[in-house]
Amino acid sequence: MTGRHTSARLEAAGAEVSRVHIVDDVTIGYAGDGSRTSRGFSLQADIQKLGSKLDELRDVAVVVIDPISAYLGDNRFPQERRSSEPSRAIERTSRTHDTAIIGVSHLNKGGGAQALMRVTGSWRLLRRHARLTS
């Protein structure tokens, strides 16, 4: 879902959309013709950029990353390293900026299994802070 669709839904729900900032991608440079070059946001590559944006916006109450598995970045790392490095960086950023950072994981469609076993992606990323709600 793009930021435009999310904004429309937030507005319909009565949100103060001027206070909502949606990151669809990250600018990585400009081509010779002046056009912007971008790529998707990655927690591994862009956590410092997120911190800079939080500094710029000031007094941000919450950051929602949905779904968190889409922003984990490079999959070449072993599973345990992939899950612990972004987790520590997220925790530091949250503490530094006094901002709640919520990573949303969606349940897969497989029925019958316990809810925790149905979380898609690297659910161990926030293993110490995870809580399933319905």
Is residue 80 over pLDDT 70? no
pLDDT value of position 6: 77
Is residue 33 over pLDDT 80? yes
Assess contact for 65 and 29: CB atoms under 8 A. no
Dist. CA 46–CA 51, nearest whole Å: 9
Task: Compare 119 and 72 and report the one with higher pLDDT.
Answer: 72
pLDDT value of position 55: 95
Is residue 114 over pLDDT 50? yes
H-helix or E-strand spanning residue 39: strand 36-39
pLDDT value of position 125: 46
Q: Does pTM top 0.85 for this prediction?
A: no
Assess contact for 43 and 82: CB atoms under 8 A. no
pLDDT value of position 109: 67
Q: Report CA 77 to chain centroid distance, whole Å.
A: 19
Dist. CA 110–CA 16, nearest whole Å: 36
Task: Pick the closest to residue 23 from 83, 73, 72, 64 (CA basis).
Answer: 64
How long a stretch of residues is the chain? 134
- Domain coordinates in residue numbering, the chain: 1-40, 42-134
**Distance between first and last Cα of the chain:** 21
